[in-house]
Amino acid sequence: MPEIALRPCTLADHEAINSLWHGCGLHPSRSDTLDGLARKLERDPELFLLAVADDEVIGTVLGSYDGRRGWINRLAVRQDWRGKGLADRLMAEVERRLVALGCDKVNLLIEPENAGVQTYYERLGYGTDPLIFMEKWLG
Ligand SMILES: CC(C)(COP(=O)(O)OP(=O)(O)OC[C@H]1O[C@@H](n2cnc3c(N)ncnc32)[C@H](O)[C@@H]1OP(=O)(O)O)[C@@H](O)C(=O)NCCC(=O)NCCS
Q: How far apart are CA 100 and CA 103, in angstroms?
A: 7
pLDDT value at residue 112: 93
- Protein residue with least CA distance to atom 23, ligand 1: 117
Q: What domains are there in the chain, each with its CATH number?
A: 4-123 (3.40.630.30)
Q: How far apart are CA 64 and CA 72, in angstroms?
A: 7
| pLDDT tens series, the chain, 139 aa | 789 999 999 999 999 999 999 999 998 899 999 999 999 999 999 999 999 999 999 999 999 999 999 999 999 999 999 999 999 999 999 999 999 999 999 999 999 999 999 999 999 999 999 999 999 999 8
Burial of 8 (0-12, 13-18, 19+ CB in 10 A): middle
The reply to whether ligand 1 has any atom less than 6 angstroms from the CB of 86 is yes
- Protein residue with least CA distance to atom 42, ligand 1: 76
The reply to whether ligand 1 has any atom less than 6 angstroms from the CB of 83 is yes
DSSP string covering the chain, please? ---EEEEE--GGGHHHHHHHHHHTTPPP-TT-SHHHHHHHHHH-GGGEEEEEETTEEEEEEEEEE-SS-EEEEEEEE-GGGTTSSHHHHHHHHHHHHHHHTT---EEE---GGGGGGHHHHHHTT-----PPP------
> What number does the ligand 1 atom closest to the CA of 90 have?
12
The reply to whether ligand 1 has any atom less than 6 angstroms from the CB of 23 is no
pLDDT value at residue 1: 77
Tell me how far the alpha carbon of residue 121 lies from the centroid of ligand 1, in angstroms: 8
Q: How far apart are CA 53 and CA 80, in angstroms?
A: 12
